[in-house]
Amino acid sequence: MTKTIGIIFYISLTMSFILLILPPEITWGVYTPNYLGWFWLLVCLPTTLITFIWAGIQDIKNKTLRELVIRVLIFISILIISCGYWFYKAHESGNL
């Protein structure tokens, strides 16, 4: 069960990051997100967060700290890269 949760976590994290990197013209409509943006907001992000928490709890229960540390480091590194990308795109468009 933990392996399945881990696979779902890594797939959803990868999909979330790929959808984040896409240009806003593809993921956003005029005033609201289009279908791809809604998929990112309503499916990818919650799935990533829920599986991250669930897998973390399972790792703590099973005392597999190595997997927990690897998962947390990957999650934090993707989060830092995403924030850096947001600031870069905001600076590039003149919003900073």
Q: What is the pLDDT of residues 62-87, one digit of tens each?
A: 998 999 999 999 999 999 998 898 88
Q: Is 28 helix (H, G, I), strand (E, B) or coil?
A: strand
For position 1, what pLDDT does the model report?
Answer: 66
Domain region containing 41: 2-92
C-alpha torsion sign, points 70, 75, 79, 82 = positive
Contact of 85 with 24, CB cutoff 8 Å:
no
Query: What residue ranges of the chain have pLDDT lower than 70?
Result: 1, 30, 96
Please count the structural domains in the chain: 1
Residue 33 DSSP label: B
The pTM for the full model equals 0.80
